[in-house]
Structure 1
């Protein structure tokens, strides 16, 4: 049974048990959740190929996209990745142990530090980025250009509504 058919079956059970409830919204949300789960599995698998957890890869990508000299404060990193500073500290500890980042004094704030991407991590990130984008391209290959544009429009509408 295909994934989409499994969801239809589940919704059919609700229709049998509670025909008085419109499960249309449940159907869409369930499908969105399953898409996220399937994407997460693929992203996790690719990160594992590089010997990092996906959340650690997010830190490396955030530092790389910050541009030279590939440095950000821990609080800016946490903010950009939508995580707490405590969560960020744990990620940074693991990455520092592997030699992917280093903590350096912030020249503009004697009390602060900056997180800097190492040369090894920059090379790793550049290589991984190409595979990451290819992985994403493959995941969306079933959609036409017009489908992607429409999906982007619809998802942006949902994001703006839910984030308000």
Structure 2
């Protein structure tokens, strides 16, 4: 009887697990991209995602999207970017990322072939919708070696 109750508790505990994520933050993402062995582009602009609704995907998938905007340099978002990006939806167990709806974004695109890749993980962190000017300015400061912490922007 005790063994049966213990087994039932273990099964229930397994089913009650949930994904625990830190809140995504563009400044933390900049730090993570800078520390990566892979090169990244920091892009801002309008993302056109055909058939994307912002709904979580049921499984890993990769889709092509069009991004028209600018790449971050030491002078700010000054280099024009108009091209394809790959949206790579990944999963952590049963939890998957979502394809973003079209609109203004700031994104961290990994250079891993001829087309930049933006990972859309279950916890997010590489693409942010509707960036404000303060966020873009702070990312420029990060690019210039100034303090780049995930503290609230002032």
Q: State TM-score, norm by structure 1.
A: 0.27
The structure whose RCO (Cα within 8 Å, separation 6+) is larger is 2
Task: Considering fraction of residues, name the structure with more strand.
Answer: 2
Instruction: State the structure with more CA Rg.
Output: 1
TM-score by length of 2: 0.28
